[in-house]
C-alpha cells in the first residue's frame, strides 16, 4: 500500500479518502477495495518515515481534513521502486509445501489435494472471466487478464505436479 499511495501523491496532495477513491477508480473491481483505516495508518507511517508530510486544512461546513503531500525523500523512494524490477517467480508456494509434505504428515492423498486446488483455481478463473466481461476500462481489464494468465499457468503446473508426484 505504501508505494501506490506515494504514486498517487506524486501527482497532487490529497487526503486519505481521496486516495481510496482514486485507487478504486484506477483499478475498479479488479483489485480489492482498500480499507480506509489501512490507508490512514500507512499515511501515518509514511509521514513518520519522512516520505510524506501533512497539514490540516480548515473546512467551514465539515471537520478539518489532513492533506498529505510527497516529500523529496518520498519522490526518490517512489522512483527507486518504479525502476526496480518486481519479484520474479514465487519459490515458496504454500500449496506446493502442502503437496510435498502431505504424505509425511499423514494427510489426504496427493491426488485429492491437487484436485481440490484445481477446483479452487477453476472457480477463481470463472469469477475473473465474469469480471472481465463487465470491465470496460483498460487498466482493470489488463489486471484481470494478468491474473487469469497466472491462474492458467498454475493449472498447467498442477497437471505437471500430478504427473510427477501421483
Percent of the chain with pLDDT over 70: 96
Q: Are 47 and 105 within one domain?
A: no
- Owning domain of residue 78: 2-83
Is the distance from CB of 98 to CB of 146 less than 8 angstroms?
no
CATH (domain of 61): 1.10.10.10
CA gyration radius, the chain = 21
Q: What is the pLDDT of residue 91?
A: 72
Tens digit of pLDDT for each residue in 58-95? 888 888 899 999 999 999 999 999 988 887 777 778 88
Tens digit of pLDDT for each residue in 110-166? 889 899 999 999 999 999 999 898 888 888 889 999 999 999 999 999 999 999 887
Q: Are 75 and 123 within one domain?
A: no
- Number of structural domains found in the chain: 2
Q: Are 7 and 79 within one domain?
A: yes
Q: Look at residue 108 and tell me whether its pLDDT is greater than 70.
A: no
The rounded distance, in Å, linking the Cα atoms of 8 and 24 is: 12
Is 88 within a domain?
no
Amino acid at each position: 500500500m505504501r508505494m501506490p499511495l506515494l504514486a498517487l501523491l506524486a501527482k497532487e496532495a490529497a487526503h486519505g479518502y481521496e486516495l481510496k477513491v482514486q485507487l478504486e477508480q484506477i483499478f475498479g473491481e479488479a483489485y480489492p477495495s482498500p480499507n480506509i483505516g489501512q490507508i490512514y495508518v500507512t499515511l501515518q507511517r509514511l509521514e513518520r518515515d519522512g516520505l510524506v508530510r501533512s497539514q490540516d486544512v480548515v473546512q467551514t461546513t465539515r471537520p478539518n481534513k489532513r492533506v498529505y503531500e510527497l516529500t523529496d525523500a518520498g519522490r526518490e523512494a517512489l522512483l527507486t521502486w518504479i525502476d526496480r524490477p518486481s519479484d520474479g517467480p514465487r519459490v515458496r508456494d504454500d500449496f506446493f509445501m502442502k503437496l510435498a509434505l502431505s504424505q509425511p504428515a499423514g494427510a489426504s492423498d496427493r491426488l485429492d489435494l491437487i484436485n481440490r486446488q484445481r477446483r479452487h483455481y477453476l472457480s477463481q478463473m470463472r469469477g475473473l472471466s465474469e469480471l472481465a466481461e463487465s470491465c470496460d476500462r483498460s487498466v482493470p481489464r489488463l489486471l484481470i487478464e494478468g491474473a487469469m494468465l497466472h491462474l492458467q499457468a498454475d493449472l498447467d503446473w498442477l497437471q505437471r505436479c500430478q504427473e510427477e508426484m501421483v
